[in-house]
């Protein structure tokens, strides 16, 4: 019985971990996602991020396909040199995360 419980637990953890993963969206697919109105234009999403941190510079960005939709993840450095991680719902522009980078 312990073996069955252990196998079930391992299977559940594996499936849950798979759901939490995201796939990077290839750059060449982004224009079609914008055209299909599945995401906002990246320029618009960048403006949302930069309004949160005026004077900051975007250092990296990623569009990920999560099981519940597209998420735009941005790393930026503000005028004081502080690094920030900001995640947006790519379809709505809603801020999901805005925290200082660890």
How many Cβ atoms from other residues are within 10 Å of residue 3's Cβ?
7
Per-residue pLDDT of the chain (102 residues; tens, 9 = 90+): 554 443 444 444 444 444 445 689 999 999 999 999 999 999 999 999 999 999 999 999 999 999 889 999 999 999 999 999 999 999 999 999 999 987
The model carries a pTM of 0.76
Q: In which order are the strands placed within the sheet that holds 69-77?
A: 23-24, 57-66, 69-77, 83-89, 95-100
Residue 52: which residues within 8 A CB-CB, separation 6 or more? 84, 86, 95, 98
Residue 96 main-chain phi, psi, to 5 deg: -95, -30
């Amino acid at each position: 019985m312990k073996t069955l419980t252990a196998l079930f637990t391992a299977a559940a953890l594996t499936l849950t971990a798979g759901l939490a993963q995201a796939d990077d969206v290839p750059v060449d697919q982004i224009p079609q996602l914008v055209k299909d109105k599945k995401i906002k234009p990246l320029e618009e999403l960048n403006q949302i991020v930069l309004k949160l941190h005026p004077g900051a510079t975007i250092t990296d960005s990623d569009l990920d396909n999560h099981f519940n939709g597209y998420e735009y993840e941005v790393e930026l450095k503000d005028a004081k040199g502080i690094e920030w991680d900001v995640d947006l719902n790519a379809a709505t522009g809603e801020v999901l995360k805005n925290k200082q980078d660890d």
